[in-house]
Amino acid sequence: MKTFHCGDIIPGCAASFTAADDDGILVQTRRHAVEAHGAAEPGSGSDVLVLPEIRTR
């Protein structure tokens, strides 16, 4: 199981995500980047920040 906490890269953001693999986390964080942080569609620009912070539980 993989986890990611948005606050690790965006101070003050309390969103957390859980998925079976990195791809599952990226699907969720891309949408979150667009909806919560105003990233341009499709939000994949955040992948380079998210991938190093994904943790295995």
Q: Read off the pLDDT of residues 11-25 as tens digits, 9 standing for 90 and up.
A: 999 999 999 999 999
For residue 53, pLDDT beyond 90: yes
For residue 8, pLDDT beyond 90: yes
Domain encompassing residue 34: 2-56
Q: What's the CA angle centered on 48, arms 45 and 50, to 5 degrees? A: 100
pLDDT: which is higher, 40 or 54: 54
Q: Read off the pLDDT of residues 18-48 as tens digits, 9 standing for 90 and up.
A: 999 999 999 999 999 999 999 998 888 899 9
Q: What's the CA angle centered on 36, arms 13 and 22, to 5 degrees? A: 75
Domain count, the chain: 1
How high is the pLDDT of residue 6? 98
Whole-number mean pLDDT of the chain? 96
Nearest to 8 by CA among 46, 39, 49, 56: 49
